[in-house]
Amino acid sequence: MTYACGHVSVSHKHAWLCLALLLTGCRERKPHQAAKAADPITLPPVTLSEAGDKANGVILVTVDTLRADYLSCYGHTRILTPSFDRFASMGVMFRNTFSQASTTTPSHSSIMTSLYLQDHNVYSNFEALGDGPTTIAETFKAAGYGTYALVNMSHLNPEVGNLAQGFQHFVRSANMRRASASFDDLLKWIGDQNGKPFFAWVHLADVHTPYRPPPPYDRFYYDEDEHDPNETSMAKIWPTLPKEMSDHPSFQAWLSGITDLDFVLAQYQGAVTYVDDEFGRLLDALESQKLLSRTAVVVTADHGESLGEHGMYFVHTGLYDSTTHIPLLAWFPGDGRHGVQVRDIVESVDILPTVLEYIGLLPPEGIRGRSLWPLIRGGSLPAKTAFMEHAGRSLVGLRSDRYAYLKHLRNSYIQPSYPFTRDREELYDIQEDPHQLRDLSKDRQDLIAQFRAELERRRHGKLDFAPGKAEVTPETTDVLRSLGYVQ
Ligand SMILES: [Zn+2]
């Protein structure tokens, strides 16, 4: 099927994106610079043929670096994510989910174990999860499920992050493997299971730097000349970047000669729409193979991305909402719940107990997350404050439904725009100041005292598992430096 949209003709195997393009009158010229807070798009409920039974398969998709507020179902007014929107209307959408870290391996370690960083002790992409914690894959494997993982960053390979624990079939990172090839591999593996129960994890890197969505997505949100010599907006960005990143040949190859910041931002936006489109293709494939009615699907991210917030670009330094507010969408067939929206604060560590309760498996002892089923069923849970820790033990954060509290733990100047300063505290009123621009830490000592006490409670009784031994090759180190990660 081919639709003409402006001067872009798009061939798709499914029509969700094209339909949205037609309904919205195609894209605007240079349409977007920053996330917009807006009411979510209201979609009609989707009717699916349901078997009425619970799933015997679970797919977990982690989209690296995907900000919640860049999905239209979370309120973005211009970026097109019709597949995620459709998925949200099918199942459950958690509007206020926060990651435990803003770095890949530490955050994924928390997703897989339902432990905070201070428990599993993975504080950078150069480190490995130890063998002590029980992963969700190990729980599924012990219950007789087939287990599969596919990753798209070398630091998630088994010998580096040690996140392959419990996965019988592990597909290593491959250079520039896109979401389309990743989902194709997943679907083939699922087909090979012949109906046997399974747990599958797919990690996508399409939205991470260097943002390079394939055509036509690279031009969806930008149709000018990114090399225009009269445009100087990119010149102010280079000094904000970590030097190890901006000096790296692969980073230079990506951005050298680009003069227009809007082009780079449009590549992130295009990558989001590309992943959305491929996710829609996955849903369509599952539905056409009559698998969607017996496969639970959970989509989330490991962290967000700074796209200008607090003077930072193309990194996920810090624990502001731009880097920790992540999407969490779930489809649990047979539960009778469609179009559920949960506004309570939830965390990445809650995914494991929620999925296991749905399947009917007991979670490992000592986990930090809690099952979200009371919220999904329309009930309540005691209010929770999300707990985040930064790579390198540089910063910790607490996020309630009203406030964000940050405490710097050491001095570090890797990120020019946002140096860590030991003992600095930050406090923001999200309701009054959603972009976290007015630091209230000096004015609200009453709240600071409360958050300090909460932080002490969190630190008390940490599990302190021994980390694993990461085998980081010079090649992996080089890739990490090009992405802005340094030790
Ligand atoms: Zn990541």
| CATH (domain of 399) | 3.40.720.10
Those residues whose beta carbon sits under 5 angstroms from the ion ligand 1 are 64, 104, 302
Examine residue 20 and state whether it is found in any structural domain, yes or no. no
Containing 398, the helix (H) or strand (E) segment is: strand 395-399
Distance CA 14, CA 138 (A): 35
Tokens of 155: 């630091």
Examine residue 40 and state whether it is found in any structural domain, yes or no. no
CA 169 / ligand 1 centre spacing (Å)? 22
CA 482 / ligand 1 centre spacing (Å)? 14
CA 207 / ligand 1 centre spacing (Å)? 9
How many domains does the structure of the chain reveal? 1
Examine residue 15 and state whether it is found in any structural domain, yes or no. no
* Strand stretches in 34-183, DSSP E: 57-63, 92-98, 146-150, 169-171
CA 204 / ligand 1 centre spacing (Å)? 9
Q: What is the SS3 assignment for 206?
A: coil
CA 85 / ligand 1 centre spacing (Å)? 23
Examine residue 467 and state whether it is found in any structural domain, yes or no. yes
Distance CA 486, CA 252 (A): 17
CA 26 / ligand 1 centre spacing (Å)? 31
Q: What is the SS3 assignment for 95?
A: strand
**pTM summary value:** 0.89
Confirm if 157 and 172 have CB atoms less than 8 A apart.
yes
CA 140 / ligand 1 centre spacing (Å)? 24
Examine residue 265 and state whether it is found in any structural domain, yes or no. yes
CA 319 / ligand 1 centre spacing (Å)? 13
Q: What is the SS3 assignment for 234?
A: helix
CA 337 / ligand 1 centre spacing (Å)? 30
In tens digits, the chain (487 residues) has pLDDT values of 233 333 333 333 344 444 333 333 333 333 333 333 334 334 333 333 344 467 899 999 999 999 999 999 999 999 999 999 999 999 999 999 999 999 999 999 999 999 999 999 999 999 999 999 999 999 999 999 999 999 999 999 999 999 999 999 999 998 789 999 999 999 999 999 999 999 999 999 999 999 999 999 999 999 999 999 999 999 999 999 988 889 999 999 999 999 999 999 999 999 999 999 999 999 999 999 999 999 999 999 999 999 999 999 999 999 999 999 999 999 999 887 889 999 999 999 999 999 999 999 999 999 999 999 999 999 999 999 999 999 999 999 999 999 999 999 999 887 888 999 999 999 999 999 999 999 999 999 999 999 999 999 998 879 989 989 888 888 888 877 777 776 5
Could you tell me the residue range of the domain that residue 243 belongs to?
Answer: 51-482
Question: From residue 71, how far is each of 29, 37, 272, 291, 441 by CA, in Å?
Answer: 19, 11, 8, 25, 31
CA 65 / ligand 1 centre spacing (Å)? 5
Examine residue 7 and state whether it is found in any structural domain, yes or no. no
Residue 292: how many CB atoms within 10 A of its CB?
A: 24
Residue 266: how many CB atoms within 10 A of its CB?
A: 28
Residue 51: how many CB atoms within 10 A of its CB?
A: 12
Q: What is the SS3 assignment for 378?
A: coil
CA 64 / ligand 1 centre spacing (Å)? 5
For residue 249, say if its preceding peptide bond is cis, omega within 30 degrees of 0. no
Examine residue 166 and state whether it is found in any structural domain, yes or no. yes
Residue 39: how many CB atoms within 10 A of its CB?
A: 7
For residue 82, say if its preceding peptide bond is cis, omega within 30 degrees of 0. no
Examine residue 263 and state whether it is found in any structural domain, yes or no. yes
